[in-house]
Amino acid sequence: MSRAIRAAAPAKLNLYLHVLGRRPDGYHELDSLVAFADLADSVEVRPADRFCLTIDGPFAAPLLAEDPERNLVTRAVRMLAAELGRAPDVAVRLTKRLPVAGGIGGGSSDAAAALRALARLWDLAPDDPRPARVAPRLGADVPVCLFGRTADFGGVGDRVEAAPALPPVAVLLVNPGVAQPTRDVFAARTGPFGAAGRLERAPVDAADLARLLAARRNDLADPAARLAPVIGDVTARMTGARGCMFTRMSGSGATCFGLFADRAAAEAAAAAIRVERPGWWAAAGLLTDSAAGVDAA
């Protein structure tokens, strides 16, 4: 068996997201608190004679319908190989368990996982700067996904700093089966820009985190709900779930998250939603301290 490296590509959650302004180049300045859940895609890399990408999993179909050269994992492999001056001679398997274009950083997290796995496979030092140099060229969310820990996220993704640790929190993720292109949501945004809202202190427990987040916003929630009104149905259903302390859309949607004090309550809510709304994806997990779960297979 050839050596294989597997990396987790966890769901990225924007616990709040403020749009601060628009730059002359058209990109928006953002301020967000980013956390990760233990619900994840996975990326496995192993040596091969030439590059190839295999995609499987319950959400593989949209990606299989696309040109594999457009996939962010393909681009991550080719860019890092070029940065290192070597051939992209690896076989990659992407197992897609998270909804595509769901506002939880799926493609960006997949690309970051590929970079982490390749760094191990190709024996890069932990502090080698080249994966981090590649990350922003792949997309605004890839640097924070490569950072892989709870973070304050700013600018156009170019400012990523460690945030205070979060307390133990269970999370429910629900997607109504709607793919929400980020550019369309930004285009639909109207009104004044907001101000930064970094947490002034570390939350002490799940209820305290919910209180702190309630004083902040997702500035993309209203335009996203205008494009996909079902998002309002999702948040209403989650808010009514027993034990749910807080509900918000993540990123540009349409995935929404709910915070719970314990995982059992989140799992019970997920099970009930799957029965009541069989076309929706609902899964329960935990917020994690680190997304960089790279393991030798």
Positions annotated as catalytic residues are: 12, 141
Contacts of 109 (CB under 8 A, 6+ apart): 9, 10, 11, 12, 40, 41, 98, 141, 145, 291
Residue found by looking up tokens 């996939």 in the block: 71
Quick one: DSSP state of residue 68?
Answer: G
B/e letters for 41-63, b = 16+ CB within 10 Å, e = fewer, are bbbbbbeeeebebebeeebbeeb
Core vs surface per residue 131-164: b (16+ CB within 10 A) or e: beebbbebbbbbbbbbbbbbbbbbeebeebeebe
Q: How far apart are CA 77 and CA 87, in angstroms?
A: 10
Secondary structure (3-state) at 25: coil
The two tokens of residue 89 are: 């001679």
Q: What are phi and psi of 34, to 5 degrees?
A: -110, 130
